[in-house]
Amino acid sequence: MTQASPIARVPRNSALDLAEMSLREVNQLLHDNSVGDFLIRNPRGAHALACGLDGDLNVTIDGHVGYYCAGMNKRAHVTVNGNAGTGLAENMMSGFVHVKGDASQSAGATGCGGLLVIDGNASARCGIALRGLDIVVKGSVGHMSAFMAQAGTIVVLGDAGDALGDSLYEAKLFVRGAVKSLGADCVQKAVRDEHKAALRKLLDAAGVGGDVDVAEFRRYGSARQLYHFHVDNAGQY
């Protein structure tokens, strides 16, 4: 009789220690379960941790993570009690990812759905090529955030760096603080009642209290001048 693997014997409500298990073993266990609560200890900056999840999982990572944590996430709720490296929640499809520290560059890149919440700051290119994911950053974001963002929403409670929304398509941007500069084809737009309602709903989902007034935010979007090549706009491409 074939003996069950050590991974298969781990219960669905478990503490997984990366000081005792390999990264591959931890990720495989998460992939083998469609439900369950898991606490991951000693991540020590591991790359590609909790990637490709597809299930109603609650995963808490107790510490800092490296590149591409929670990438391609689908349905799962992933919480990082620390900072995250490049490509956090890259190509996320659905679910909820919450980082309680800061995130490096390209957080939420190409994300298609779900909600990404960053309690601290996000570095350059936050939400690059966004395709439907909603991102709430409680701190500030770096330069070129929302570059070529197609759909979804980015909410920034702090400031934004240079070239916000460069070559933007139809993603919605809300910034509470100062914007250093806007990128090509990104313009400030009016904040109507429907935008305030949608913003309030998103802030509530991200755990931002009602003491934050949606009237303090400015909205930015595409001027729709770069959708098709025109020689008069050649200098902006």
pLDDT in tens, 173-202: 999 999 999 999 999 999 999 999 999 999
Q: What is the pLDDT of residue 110?
A: 98
Q: What is the pLDDT of residue 209?
A: 81
Residue 78 pLDDT > 90: yes
- pTM greater than 0.85: yes
User: What span, in angstroms and rounded, lies between the C-alpha atoms of 106 and 87?
Assistant: 5
Token readout for 9 is 């014997």
Mean pLDDT of the chain: 93
Residue 5 pLDDT > 50: no
Q: What is the pLDDT of residue 232?
A: 72
Token readout for 182 is 């806007």
CB of 35 closer than 8 Å to CB of 55: yes
Domain 13-236 classified CATH 2.160.20.60?
yes
Token readout for 57 is 């999982």
Q: What is the pLDDT of residue 8?
A: 42
Which has more confidence, 47 or 226?
Answer: 47
CB of 95 closer than 8 Å to CB of 77: yes
Q: What is the pLDDT of residue 3?
A: 41
Q: What is the pLDDT of residue 211?
A: 86
Phi, psi of 9 (to 5 degrees): -85, -5
Mean pLDDT of 1-24: 69
User: What span, in angstroms and rounded, lies between the C-alpha atoms of 178 and 160?
Assistant: 6
Q: What is the pLDDT of residue 4?
A: 39
Selection from 194, 181, 192, 190 nearest residue 220 by Cα: 190
Selection from 165, 180, 181 nearest residue 128 by Cα: 165
User: What span, in angstroms and rounded, lies between the C-alpha atoms of 86 and 67?
Assistant: 5
Per-residue pLDDT band for 233 (boundaries 50, 70, 90) equals low
Mean pLDDT of 92-105: 98
Mean pLDDT of 117-135: 98
CB of 213 closer than 8 Å to CB of 197: no
Residue 7 pLDDT > 50: no
Structural domain boundaries in the chain: 13-236
